[in-house]
Amino acid sequence: MGTGPDRPLEGRTVALLATDGVERAELLEPRRALEEAGARTLLVAPEPGEIRAFDHLDPAEPVPVDLGLDGARPDEIDALVLPGGVANPDRLRTDRRAVAFVRAFADAGKPLAAICHAPWLLIEAGVARGRTLTSFPSIATDLANTGAVWVDREVCVDGPLVTSRRPDDLPAFCAALIEALRPAAAVPRPGRPPTDLRACRSPGAAGARPR
């Protein structure tokens, strides 16, 4: 089936990597947006079964896992989404398999999107240095210390990397992710293209200090 204007991501497969403690909205809203655009999505977690989502600090419903990390193959997936929450990326960044999974997408130049605290995984995978990124403000110093440029914007696009700050930014985050995956979009080459601050959208000064 070919792509159409309402389903531009038909034929694309996107993984969402998460574990217990994931922020529910940051998992489910990008997933819904991707599927409405025609993509097939896969929830990848350290182990098969299910994970527990949260609404901030309150437990939410369990979410079924599609693939454990040991069965997930980055070469069969077109893009990776890293939802936030605090506990979720904090757990994942101590899992060598999760870090290697993230690094594989960066090395291949595939779209890689992270929101809220999920850029911790970009740091751990060694892909944040030299990039312009946004995140939840509390980890701005972590990103700066690893050599990234932190900006206070609802979405920032630097080559294949798409980042946002918090659940309020989800509409912009989802739109940028879908744009990065459109077949007509230029496919970035592996490596680290020069940062283009013009691609970081919405108000906010480059290099802004976190509030």
Indicate which residues carry an active-site annotation: 117
Query: What secondary structure does DSSP assign to the chain, as a single string?
Result: ---BTTBTTTT-EEEEE--TTEEHHHHHHHHHHHHHTT-EEEEEESSSSEEEEEETTEEEEEEE-SEEGGG--GGG-SEEEE---SHHHHHHTT-HHHHHHHHHHHHHT--EEEETTTHHHHHHTT--TT-EE---GGGHHHHHHTTPEE---SEEEETTEEEE-SGGGHHHHHHHHHHHH-TTSPPPPSS-PPP-GGGEESS--TTPPP-
